[in-house]
Protein backbone atom coordinates (compact mmCIF):
# COMPACT_ATOMS: atom_id res chain seq x y z
CA UNK A 1 0.00 0.00 0.00
CA UNK A 2 1.07 3.55 -0.68
CA UNK A 3 -0.59 6.78 0.38
CA UNK A 4 -2.24 8.71 -2.44
CA UNK A 5 -0.43 11.96 -1.56
CA UNK A 6 2.93 10.19 -1.55
CA UNK A 7 2.32 8.72 -5.00
CA UNK A 8 1.14 12.10 -6.32
CA UNK A 9 4.27 13.72 -4.86
CA UNK A 10 6.53 11.22 -6.63
CA UNK A 11 4.80 11.84 -9.95
CA UNK A 12 4.82 15.63 -9.61
CA UNK A 13 8.59 15.65 -9.12
CA UNK A 14 9.29 14.17 -12.55
CA UNK A 15 6.19 15.27 -14.48
CA UNK A 16 6.69 19.06 -14.12
CA UNK A 17 3.74 19.52 -16.44
CA UNK A 18 5.67 18.33 -19.52
CA UNK A 19 7.36 14.93 -18.96
CA UNK A 20 4.65 12.52 -20.07
CA UNK A 21 6.67 9.40 -20.98
CA UNK A 22 9.07 7.76 -18.52
CA UNK A 23 10.15 4.37 -17.23
CA UNK A 24 9.47 3.38 -13.65
CA UNK A 25 12.28 1.06 -12.58
CA UNK A 26 11.38 -1.00 -9.51
CA UNK A 27 13.74 -3.16 -7.47
CA UNK A 28 14.13 -4.12 -3.82
CA UNK A 29 10.93 -2.23 -3.00
CA UNK A 30 12.42 1.00 -4.34
CA UNK A 31 11.35 3.10 -7.32
CA UNK A 32 13.70 5.04 -9.60
CA UNK A 33 12.60 7.34 -12.43
CA UNK A 34 14.92 9.16 -14.84
CA UNK A 35 13.47 11.90 -17.02
CA UNK A 36 14.32 14.63 -19.51
CA UNK A 37 12.14 17.52 -20.66
CA UNK A 38 11.09 17.56 -24.34
CA UNK A 39 13.27 20.65 -24.87
CA UNK A 40 16.20 18.84 -23.17
CA UNK A 41 16.91 21.77 -20.88
CA UNK A 42 16.27 19.72 -17.71
CA UNK A 43 17.46 16.21 -16.88
CA UNK A 44 16.66 14.63 -13.55
CA UNK A 45 15.77 11.66 -11.40
CA UNK A 46 13.42 10.74 -8.58
CA UNK A 47 13.99 7.95 -6.08
CA UNK A 48 11.44 6.53 -3.64
CA UNK A 49 12.97 4.13 -1.15
CA UNK A 50 9.75 2.48 0.03
CA UNK A 51 7.58 1.42 -2.90
CA UNK A 52 4.88 -1.26 -2.47
CA UNK A 53 5.65 -3.49 -5.46
CA UNK A 54 7.97 -6.43 -4.95
CA UNK A 55 10.42 -7.83 -7.46
CA UNK A 56 12.27 -6.18 -10.33
CA UNK A 57 10.18 -4.44 -12.99
CA UNK A 58 10.38 -1.79 -15.70
CA UNK A 59 7.05 -0.08 -16.27
CA UNK A 60 6.58 2.15 -19.31
CA UNK A 61 4.38 5.12 -18.39
CA UNK A 62 3.49 6.76 -21.70
CA UNK A 63 0.88 9.31 -20.55
CA UNK A 64 1.61 10.58 -17.05
CA UNK A 65 -1.26 13.10 -17.11
CA UNK A 66 -3.81 10.32 -17.60
CA UNK A 67 -2.26 8.35 -14.75
CA UNK A 68 -2.41 11.42 -12.52
CA UNK A 69 -6.07 11.95 -13.41
CA UNK A 70 -6.87 8.38 -12.40
CA UNK A 71 -5.05 8.68 -9.08
CA UNK A 72 -6.75 12.00 -8.32
CA UNK A 73 -10.17 10.37 -7.83
CA UNK A 74 -8.82 7.97 -5.21
CA UNK A 75 -8.31 8.63 -1.51
CA UNK A 76 -6.31 7.28 1.38
CA UNK A 77 -4.00 4.30 0.89
CA UNK A 78 -3.74 2.72 -2.56
CA UNK A 79 -3.05 -0.88 -3.56
CA UNK A 80 -0.88 -1.22 -6.68
CA UNK A 81 -0.82 -4.42 -8.74
CA UNK A 82 0.60 -5.40 -12.12
CA UNK A 83 -0.63 -7.49 -15.05
CA UNK A 84 1.85 -9.10 -17.38
CA UNK A 85 1.38 -10.51 -20.89
CA UNK A 86 4.35 -12.75 -21.67
CA UNK A 87 7.39 -10.52 -21.00
CA UNK A 88 5.56 -7.19 -21.17
CA UNK A 89 3.71 -5.47 -18.34
CA UNK A 90 0.42 -4.28 -19.77
CA UNK A 91 -1.67 -2.97 -16.85
CA UNK A 92 -1.17 -1.13 -13.58
CA UNK A 93 -4.13 -1.66 -11.28
CA UNK A 94 -4.84 0.99 -8.64
CA UNK A 95 -7.48 0.48 -5.97
CA UNK A 96 -8.69 2.10 -2.76
CA UNK A 97 -11.74 1.37 -0.61
CA UNK A 98 -14.12 2.57 -3.32
CA UNK A 99 -12.43 2.53 -6.73
CA UNK A 100 -10.72 -0.10 -8.86
CA UNK A 101 -8.78 1.56 -11.67
CA UNK A 102 -6.82 0.18 -14.60
CA UNK A 103 -3.99 2.10 -16.32
CA UNK A 104 -2.63 0.76 -19.62
CA UNK A 105 1.15 0.46 -19.64
CA UNK A 106 3.17 0.99 -22.78
CA UNK A 107 6.06 -0.75 -24.51
CA UNK A 108 9.38 0.39 -22.98
CA UNK A 109 10.79 0.72 -26.51
CA UNK A 110 8.46 3.68 -27.06
CA UNK A 111 10.07 5.67 -24.22
CA UNK A 112 12.94 7.90 -25.30
CA UNK A 113 16.29 7.44 -23.60
CA UNK A 114 17.35 10.02 -21.04
CA UNK A 115 20.59 11.86 -21.68
CA UNK A 116 23.55 11.95 -19.33
CA UNK A 117 25.22 14.86 -17.57
CA UNK A 118 28.96 15.46 -17.26
CA UNK A 119 29.32 16.97 -13.81
CA UNK A 120 31.25 20.27 -13.90
CA UNK A 121 33.02 22.02 -11.06
CA UNK A 122 30.50 24.04 -9.12
CA UNK A 123 31.51 27.50 -7.92
CA UNK A 124 28.29 28.25 -6.03
CA UNK A 125 26.44 26.22 -3.42
CA UNK A 126 23.51 27.59 -1.44
CA UNK A 127 20.85 26.10 0.79
CA UNK A 128 17.25 26.64 -0.24
CA UNK A 129 15.31 26.78 3.00
CA UNK A 130 11.50 26.37 2.89
CA UNK A 131 11.15 30.14 3.39
CA UNK A 132 13.46 30.80 0.44
CA UNK A 133 11.45 28.46 -1.77
CA UNK A 134 8.20 30.19 -0.80
CA UNK A 135 9.68 33.64 -1.43
CA UNK A 136 11.16 32.72 -4.82
CA UNK A 137 7.83 31.24 -5.92
CA UNK A 138 6.08 34.44 -4.81
CA UNK A 139 8.58 36.57 -6.70
CA UNK A 140 8.12 34.61 -9.90
CA UNK A 141 4.32 34.60 -9.49
CA UNK A 142 4.30 38.39 -9.16
CA UNK A 143 5.86 38.59 -12.65
CA UNK A 144 4.00 35.62 -14.09
CA UNK A 145 4.09 36.82 -17.69
CA UNK A 146 7.90 36.93 -17.90
CA UNK A 147 10.04 33.78 -18.04
CA UNK A 148 13.39 35.50 -17.40
CA UNK A 149 15.45 34.76 -14.30
CA UNK A 150 19.02 36.00 -13.93
CA UNK A 151 21.30 34.45 -11.30
CA UNK A 152 24.12 36.77 -10.30
CA UNK A 153 26.84 36.53 -7.68
CA UNK A 154 27.72 39.72 -5.83
CA UNK A 155 28.21 41.22 -2.36
CA UNK A 156 25.44 42.53 -0.14
CA UNK A 157 25.66 45.69 1.97
CA UNK A 158 27.49 43.74 4.70
CA UNK A 159 30.16 42.65 2.17
CA UNK A 160 28.90 39.06 2.28
CA UNK A 161 28.84 36.98 -0.90
CA UNK A 162 25.29 36.33 -2.08
CA UNK A 163 23.39 34.89 -5.01
CA UNK A 164 20.77 37.23 -6.44
CA UNK A 165 17.68 35.83 -8.13
CA UNK A 166 16.50 38.58 -10.46
CA UNK A 167 13.08 38.19 -12.06
CA UNK A 168 11.97 40.62 -14.71
CA UNK A 169 11.74 41.89 -18.25
CA UNK A 170 14.64 42.56 -20.60
CA UNK A 171 14.08 46.33 -20.69
CA UNK A 172 15.88 48.20 -17.94
CA UNK A 173 12.92 50.43 -17.03
CA UNK A 174 10.47 47.54 -16.60
CA UNK A 175 9.53 45.69 -13.41
CA UNK A 176 12.12 43.57 -11.62
CA UNK A 177 12.28 41.65 -8.35
CA UNK A 178 15.57 40.69 -6.67
CA UNK A 179 15.94 38.07 -3.93
CA UNK A 180 19.25 37.30 -2.16
CA UNK A 181 20.60 34.13 -0.52
CA UNK A 182 24.00 33.76 1.18
CA UNK A 183 26.13 30.67 0.63
CA UNK A 184 29.43 29.25 -0.53
CA UNK A 185 30.37 31.43 -3.51
CA UNK A 186 33.78 31.12 -5.14
CA UNK A 187 33.23 33.41 -8.12
CA UNK A 188 31.79 36.92 -8.05
CA UNK A 189 30.14 38.86 -10.90
CA UNK A 190 28.64 35.80 -12.58
CA UNK A 191 25.47 36.53 -14.56
CA UNK A 192 23.63 33.48 -15.88
CA UNK A 193 20.05 33.48 -17.27
CA UNK A 194 17.58 30.64 -16.69
CA UNK A 195 13.95 29.94 -17.52
CA UNK A 196 11.98 31.06 -14.48
CA UNK A 197 8.87 29.06 -15.43
CA UNK A 198 10.53 25.64 -15.22
CA UNK A 199 12.53 26.75 -12.15
CA UNK A 200 9.33 27.69 -10.34
CA UNK A 201 7.69 24.40 -11.35
CA UNK A 202 10.62 22.42 -9.88
CA UNK A 203 10.40 24.36 -6.62
CA UNK A 204 6.64 23.88 -6.38
CA UNK A 205 6.96 20.14 -6.97
CA UNK A 206 9.47 19.90 -4.10
CA UNK A 207 7.88 22.22 -1.52
CA UNK A 208 7.05 19.16 0.59
CA UNK A 209 10.72 18.12 0.87
CA UNK A 210 11.73 20.62 3.57
CA UNK A 211 14.26 22.57 1.50
CA UNK A 212 17.05 21.71 -0.89
CA UNK A 213 20.46 22.64 -2.28
CA UNK A 214 21.34 24.67 -5.38
CA UNK A 215 24.73 24.41 -7.07
CA UNK A 216 25.86 26.48 -10.03
CA UNK A 217 28.77 26.16 -12.43
CA UNK A 218 30.36 29.07 -14.27
CA UNK A 219 29.47 27.28 -17.53
CA UNK A 220 25.75 27.71 -16.84
CA UNK A 221 24.63 24.38 -15.39
CA UNK A 222 22.41 24.42 -12.30
CA UNK A 223 22.04 21.41 -10.03
CA UNK A 224 19.08 21.18 -7.64
CA UNK A 225 18.78 18.40 -5.05
CA UNK A 226 16.02 17.69 -2.55
CA UNK A 227 15.86 14.93 0.05
CA UNK A 228 13.30 13.96 2.67
CA UNK A 229 13.97 11.25 5.25
CA UNK A 230 10.37 11.49 6.41
CA UNK A 231 8.98 10.85 2.93
CA UNK A 232 11.91 8.60 1.94
CA UNK A 233 12.28 10.49 -1.31
CA UNK A 234 15.18 12.03 -3.24
CA UNK A 235 14.92 14.21 -6.34
CA UNK A 236 17.63 15.79 -8.47
CA UNK A 237 17.59 18.17 -11.43
CA UNK A 238 20.17 19.48 -13.88
CA UNK A 239 19.04 22.66 -15.62
CA UNK A 240 20.95 24.40 -18.39
CA UNK A 241 21.09 28.14 -18.87
CA UNK A 242 18.97 29.96 -21.41
CA UNK A 243 20.69 30.29 -24.77
CA UNK A 244 20.06 34.01 -25.05
CA UNK A 245 20.64 36.83 -22.61
CA UNK A 246 17.38 38.71 -21.98
CA UNK A 247 18.63 41.22 -19.43
pLDDT at 173: 61
pLDDT at 197: 96
Counting residues of the chain whose pLDDT is more than 90, the rounded percentage is: 86
3-state secondary structure the chain: CEEHHHHHHHHHHHHCCCCCCEEEEEECCEEEEEEECCCCCEEEEEEECCCCCCCCEEEEECCHHHHHHHHHCCCCEEEEEEEEECCEEEEEEEECCCCEEEEECECHHHCCCCCCCCCCCEEEEEEECHHHHHHHHHHHHHCCCCCEEEEEEEECCCCCEEEEEEEECCCCCCCEEEEEEECEECCCCCEEEEEHHHHHHHHHHCHHHCCEEEEEECCCEEEEEEEECCCCEEEEEEEECCCCCCC
Q: What is the mean pLDDT of the chain?
A: 93
Residue 115 predicted with pLDDT over 60: yes
Residue 12 predicted with pLDDT over 70: yes
Residue 171 predicted with pLDDT over 70: no
pLDDT band, very low/low/confident/very high, at 145 (cuts 50, 70, 90): confident
Domains of the chain: 2-110 (3.10.150.10), 122-240 (3.10.150.10)
Average pLDDT for 47-62:
93
Amino acid sequence: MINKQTLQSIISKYYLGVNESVKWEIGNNALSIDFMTPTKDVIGSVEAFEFPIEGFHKLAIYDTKKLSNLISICSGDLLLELEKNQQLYTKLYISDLNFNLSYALSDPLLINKVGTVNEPDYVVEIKLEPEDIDNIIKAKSALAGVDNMLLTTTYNLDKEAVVEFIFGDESGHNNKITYQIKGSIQEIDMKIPFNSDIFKTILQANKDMGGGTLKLSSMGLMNLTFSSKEMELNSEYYMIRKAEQDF
